[in-house]
Chains A and B, each alone.
Chain A
Amino acid sequence: MHQSFLHKKTAPDRAYLRSLSAQQSAGSAAAPRRKTDSRKKAPEKKKSGLLSVGLGLDMPFLLLVLALLTIGIIMMFSASYPTAYSKTGDSFYYLKRQLIFAGLGVAAMIACSYFNYRYLYRFAKIILGISFAVLIIVLFMPSETGIRRWIGVGSFTIQASEITKFCLIVFFAYWGTKYADKMQYMKYSFMPGMIIFGATAVLLLLEPHYSCIVIVFLLVLIMLFLSGMPLKYFGIIAVIAVVAFVIAFSTGLLGYAMDRMDGWGQALNYTPENKWATYQTRNSLYAIGSGGVWGLGLGQSRQKYLYLPEPQNDFVYAVVCEELGLIGAGVILVLFGLLVYRGIRISRAASDNFGKLLGCGLVAQVGLQVVLNVLVITDWLPNTGISFPFFSYGGSSLIMLLAQMGIVLSVSRTANIEKT
């Protein structure tokens, strides 16, 4: 069965690919001014079209992305400079690198926005293969701590799970499109979903990267939900999830995660034993609380002075809360909310089912990470490493994220161009 859904070309499949080539010609027709019709080719060759770079792009979505990226970089710098100075002697250490990542990321975003996302449909199975390949390769990377999450690519490293999340969204968008009319059958919805998730989860367990399992699980659910899987299957999934959790818990598979969950929700009422286990979360709470409604002012965080460990990473939003208060933190959440809203709206307007599912999946991932991150830094979820989109320091995730946003823009561009 596994083989069957990976290799059998079905009628809807062929139909979608046909429509893909049709749209390509339609797209070129809609852009008669372009001197080259080379959307198939590498995006960087599009530089000649810089003046028309906004053509067909959803400007509100683009502006939201750029606004969040700008605020994110400023806040990441504000949060990180004492740590950067303490660790490297250079206050701008993280800022400089993040600016390079952001530059690369924006380039990737623009490139992706010109890239015809429908090619992803064609290569969906290969993309799924890449996901597994990356997750297996990462297990053979050298590691000092025993945790293997990073793959070295030149001087940069990339987090394997970033690739996986993207790949799974692409694959399930493809699957949901291809078998749109068979979603009511367990064989075409529930089964592939759980098999792929299960295989991914096992590999992530070996890294280990538990928080990513949670995100992947939720993403698979979202994709299946959007694809139209009957609701009764979700009930079954819920039951299985509970059973799996209980088994994992009782067999000690969750060892590492449990270590990190020690004192989860107890950051303020710590005991001498778990004082250090909850240290980061506790200082995050101090930071958030210190901000109050109005905040201490930009740059005025005190908790970032080596009290809150690694304030540039997962806990950057805690410093945002401290400096900008509930108001500032709320505005940022609203911006994210608008981004999700706009992203889903764009996706709904997509000209094809694949675009709809893909767009929705990609923005849902952003929304999901925002929510999970806030719950982690406020001690409602265990501290297991979920970055805050656009804010957290890190090259691979930022570039991936911006590239994904580029794909959402590509969905909007395609839809807009086709409309005209």
Chain B
Amino acid sequence: MAKGTNQTFRKRSAILLVIILALGFGTAMFRLGYLQIFMADELQQKATAQQLTDTTLSAKRGTIYDRNREILAESATVWRVVLAPVYLETDEERRIVSRGLSEILDIDEETIFEKSKQSSYYVEIKRQIESDTRQEILDFCEKLSDEYDINSNSIYLLDNYKRYYYKNALASSVIGFTGSDDQGLSGIEYQYDELLTGTPGRLVTATNSIGTEMPFKYSQNIDAVDGSSLVLTIDSNIQAIVEKYLQEGIEDHEVANRAVSIVMNVNTGEVLAMASVGGFDLNDPYTLDDSILAEIAKLPEDKRLEAESAALQKTWRNKAVSDTYYPGSVFKMFTAAMALEEDLVSEESSFYCPGHYTVTGEVIHCHLRSGHGTQNFRDCIKNSCNPAFMQIGELLGAEKFWKYYQAFGFSERTGIDLPGEAEDIFFSEDGSMLPVNLATASFGQNFAVTPIQMATAVCAIANGGYIVQPHVVSQVLDSEGNVQSIVSNDAKRQAISSETAAHIADILEENAVSGSGSNGYVAGYRVAGKTGTTEKKIDENGDGIDDYIASFCGFAPAENAEVVCLVFFDTPTGAAYYGSQVAAPVFAKIMSEVLPYLEVATEYTDEEIESLDKTTGNYVGMTTDEAIGAIEEDGFTVTVMGYGEKVLAQVPHASMPIPQGGNVVVYTDEDSAQIQSTVPDFKGYSINDVNYLASLENLNVSITGATNSAMCYATSQSVAPGTLVSPGTVIKVTFTSGGISD
């Protein structure tokens, strides 16, 4: 070996050592140091993020009660069936599992079999199974491992909650519904979503990349806090009454665009009922009515989806807070109150109506084209006379009108605890308006308010001038059921003096007895109210005639009022469209059931006492002669059927209210019970004619509605014409006053 070569090697091997150690290992060490010192936190976080599995523990959504603590909406535990086919090794095992699940869950076996071929830990088979099905699944799992030696981990159940609405469509637009992730989508469910939802818990565990837990201990458990429950001001009994009569009204008057009613406590602002009928089944909010579906099916295919979605939005819409409408004549009570409050008019003021009124050259007609002639202030309201109110408006001037408009709360949202509340639509932001605007506004035209604004303002007339805060939730309960908070019932401000309010209430009471509002009359209760009919100035349903809104808003009793009720039919397409014809009778029907339910004291006039129903006694078991004596003593007439000696049955039954002088039929032998009467068609007849027709058939008639009016006629009856009933049966006949065009 040459010496030079050896020296070169010594030098070069040293250089190589230095290169490997300094450059190579140095670089490696530098890189590691950088990653493990400077990047450590960031990398560790990222590693942790993928290693920890965050399982959400769902919190139970709070319950929604009505004011009587009846459950309106409740969540209950349901389960999700999940298959982990990765544990199934052979087709035979897959077949056994698929067949078993198919039998329990009623799903096609092949569908499950196909799913079971995946190599996955999570294949969802069915959602929302209830506890009985769950037990079947658990039994099946046990059987799998015992009998077939199949890993029972291949099927597992995950907890979840499902929302149940026990009253289906009742108050649907108020309560609202939840989506698939248990989130509130509309109504109270949406408005109070955060409170109802509660706080989901978390279970943080360390897992490997396929999701099973790692052997090292890392687990953090934060318990779920169940959602708060809500107690509503809504009374489901009142709500049911309201919805029943709205539905009836919709059918009677072929109402195209649904109907609204609000029943409110005048002093507290508590909403006792709020209905937008037709509603929808809260348990099935995405299914449309068959008739709507039929309409949609007629559309071209590309438009159907859009139409379906629009139709759904329409049925979900809470018209009571989201719709605006021209208040029409109902608003006249406020114009009158403004003028009274400002001392611009008195009972003695007189206004002349020639059938029209001219403002800055524009002729505006009264609904009575022939004119009301000269009327005093009180009659202006009772006649619902437009020219008179244009004159009252002129007396007020735009500035004062705007001042009270604001005071009554029309210029701002009421702030009711429901989503989607609309704003009013006025001529301008600052209340300035042209004389012609003021003239139309004075009788409630050409500006729009929401039904809830109107109901709240009417409360002020009823309660002595106070603007209340309308609300639907009265109490919040924690998950244990303890009261967490109570919603205040305090009034926000006073809009007009108590005297003015009482004065208007008095006029409105008279109006309901003998004025334009007489169809809203409820015997025994001092009802006050005002009708309204407004043109929508659009033709939505395309029948060539402008659409109307028929409304009625009133309260009872006129003094010390307790409840306000607003009724509103959007686009009646039948023969009648005036508020007095369409809305007022429904108002009366609602009030005649709601007021007794609320145990509002009755105050009958002498006249009413005379025609008041009396309660039948129990005559069964008496001898025929005894019975005749007793019945006549009770103030009824008697019809005896059969030839027996003892009374075997009676119609009406004991303790039934029937008009004084009504007919009690007693049956004295078996054969006589076979005799039946045919119910006549009372529609269109006067009270006297109805009584005569009923007497021919030995039937009793109970009359309700606008019976004070001279021109009233029967518009509906509780038993359909032609029905065979026992003699003596009481038929309820509702009368409507004709000749009122408002």
Contacts and interface: CB of A to CB of B under 8 A. Distances in A.
B297 interface: no
A307 B47 CA distance: 9
A136 interface: no
A370 interface: yes
A258 interface: no
Interface stretch (B34-42, B443-451, B528-536): B34-42
Interface in A160-204: 177, 180-181, 183
A389 B134 CA distance: 55
Nearest to A297: B216
Interface stretch (A22-30, A51-59, A287-295, A390-398): A287-295
B25 A226 contact: no
Contact of A292 (B16, B17, B20, B44): B44
Contact of B21 (A226, A289, A337, A347): A337
Interface string B188-202: 000000000000000
Contact of B51 (A305, A333, A370): A305
A6 B17 CA distance: 30
A321 B34 CA distance: 12
Interface in A58-87: 82, 86
B209 interface: yes
Interface string B25-38: 10111011101110
B54 to A, nearest CB: 16
Interface in A219-250: 222, 225-228
B210 interface: yes
Given A289-B36, A300-B216, A181 B209 contact: no
Given A285-B35, A288-B35, A347 B2 contact: no
A371 interface: yes
A329 interface: yes
B24 A371 contact: yes
B349 interface: no
Interface in B299-328: none
Interface stretch (B6-14, B162-170, B660-668): B6-14
B46 interface: yes
A356 interface: yes
A115 interface: no
Contacts of B489: none
A226 B13 contact: yes
A267 B1 CA distance: 51
Contacts of A368: 20, 24
6 contacts: A286-B43, A286-B47, A288-B43, A307-B209, A370-B24, A371-B20
A326 B37 CA distance: 8
A5 to B, nearest CB: 18
Given A292-B36, A364-B16, A374-B32, 13 more contacts: A222-B16, A283-B47, A286-B47, A290-B47, A291-B40, A293-B36, A303-B47, A307-B208, A325-B36, A337-B21, A340-B21, A356-B13, A370-B24
A344 interface: yes
Main secondary structure of the interface of A (DSSP, over half): helix
Nearest to A352: B1
A367 B20 contact: yes
Nearest to B209: A306
B25 A302 contact: no
A292 B37 contact: yes
Nearest to A374: B28
Given A326-B37, A340-B17, A367-B25, A289 B8 contact: no
B50 interface: yes
A79 B10 CA distance: 40
A344 to B, nearest CB: 5
Contacts of B28: 333, 370-371, 374-375, 378
A267 B456 CA distance: 64
A292 B25 contact: no
B47 A180 contact: no
B584 interface: no
A318 to B, nearest CB: 10
B40 A305 contact: no
B31 A360 contact: no
A295 to B, nearest CB: 9
Contact of B47 (A227, A287, A352, A370): A287
A256 interface: no
Contact of B27 (A336, A341, A364, A371): A371
A333 B29 contact: yes
- Residue from A305, A340, A360 having most chain B Cβ neighbours under 10 A: A305
Interface string A344-356: 1001100011001
A288 B37 contact: no
A103 interface: no
B5 interface: yes
Nearest to B10: A348
Chain A interface size range: 35 or more
Contact of A353 (B9, B25, B33, B51): B9
A152 interface: no
A291 B37 CA distance: 9
B47 A329 contact: no
A380 interface: yes
B208 A291 contact: no
Nearest to B33: A326
Contacts of B12: 225-226, 228
A285 B20 CA distance: 24
A183 B6 CA distance: 13
A367 B9 contact: no
Given A286-B43, A305-B214, A329-B36, A225 B16 contact: yes
A330 interface: yes
A289 B208 contact: no
- Residue from B29, B32, B48 having most chain A Cβ neighbours under 10 A: B32
A326 B35 CA distance: 9
B438 interface: no
B206 interface: yes
A375 B24 CA distance: 9
B13 A347 contact: yes
Interface in B612-640: none
Nearest to A372: B24
Contacts of A326: 32-33, 36-37
A226 B15 CA distance: 9
Contacts of A341: 17, 21
B36 A321 contact: yes
Given A285-B43, A302-B206, A336 B32 contact: no
A287 B9 CA distance: 41
- Residue from B6, B29, B36, B216 having most chain A Cβ neighbours under 10 A: B36
Contacts of A371: 20, 24-25, 27-28
A292 B40 CA distance: 5
A282 B17 CA distance: 32
Interface in A256-314: 268, 283, 285-293, 300, 302-303, 305-307
Given A228-B8, A300-B216, A367-B20, A380 B36 contact: no
B25 A333 contact: yes
A354 to B, nearest CB: 10
Nearest to B213: A305
- Residue from A283, A286, A329 having most chain B Cβ neighbours under 10 A: A286
A286 B50 contact: yes
A380 B31 contact: yes
Given A326-B32, A353-B1, A226 B27 contact: no
Contacts of B48: 290
Contact of A375 (B17, B27, B33): B27
B634 to A, nearest CB: 89
A344 B737 CA distance: 119
B39 A289 contact: yes
A375 to B, nearest CB: 7
Contacts of A288: 32, 35-36, 43
Contacts of B39: 285, 289
Contacts of B10: 348
The 7 closest A-B pairs by CB, nearest first: A289-B43, A305-B208, A371-B24, A286-B47, A374-B28, A326-B36, A306-B209
B232 to A, nearest CB: 48
